[in-house]
Amino acid sequence: MIITRMSNRASVFYRSITVISAVVFVLTTCGPACAKTVGRSGNIYRIAEPDARKELEDKAASSDLKERIKKEEIANKIKRYRPSNVVNLPPAKKDRTSLVDMTYTLEFDIPDGKGGVLYPKGFIFNPLDYIPFSRTIVVLNGAAENEVDWFTASEYFKRTDVVLLITDGMWKELMHRFKRNVFYLTEPVRARFRLSYTPSVIVKKDNKYMEVKEIHVPAKKDSAGRRN
């Protein structure tokens, strides 16, 4: 009787082990394809924590956007750059040529580096005697279309020895248009060459002077025939 009961219990135990093993085998080998909804027990809540991958992607996109905005701001500042001492000159009313004496008087002593003076204050000299100058300087108003057109049609446009200075206009736009470097006319340069009007062409004359040619460029006419 005892043996029969033990045998029945053992049989139940082994059947239970067999069933459990079968369930474990099915779950581990079948995977998600065999999973079934077994109903809901209790309340379900949304996950409060943000998705880590989404959060990283958002931060990267935000960082890239800020970097692009920063680069655009820097590019616009460079494009719109103008020196604080840029000079704007009126257009020439007639053709005129003048000579500028480049003789200069020192306003301070220049030391010789040995405790002495190489050139004393008041020393008079001409820079053209010491520095060779073979360039031609063209000064124009880059915002005046008639002067821009004059320059592109002139002999100076394709010459590589020409230095172009503008009194107004966007230097970068003109640089791309002319395919050459463009600089602003500043007050020290204007004063040194005694410039008064645009366009002006500056060349060396007789190794002592700088010749300044002021050129009258007619204003462009609008559709009604009026000059601008």
Structure confidence at residue 162 (pLDDT): 96
Report whether pLDDT(26) > 50: no
Q: How confident is the model at residue 69 (pLDDT cuts 50, 70, 90)?
A: low
Architecture in CATH for domain 96-214: 3-Layer(aba) Sandwich (3.40)
Question: What is the average pLDDT across 36-41?
Answer: 52
In this structure, are residues 136 and 200 in contact, taking their beta carbons and an 8 Å threshold? no
Q: How confident is the model at residue 225 (pLDDT cuts 50, 70, 90)?
A: low
Report whether pLDDT(201) > 70: yes
Structure confidence at residue 70 (pLDDT): 64
Residue 215: DSSP 8-state: -
Question: Which of 33-42, 49-58, 177-186 comes out lowest in average pLDDT?
Answer: 33-42
Residue 211 corresponds to which tokens in the numbers above? 């010749």
More confident residue, 63 or 101: 101
Report whether pLDDT(185) > 80: yes
Return d(Cα 182, Cα 166) in angstroms, integer. 7
Domain positions in the chain are 96-214
Sign of CA dihedral 115, 118, 121, 127: negative
Structure confidence at residue 184 (pLDDT): 95
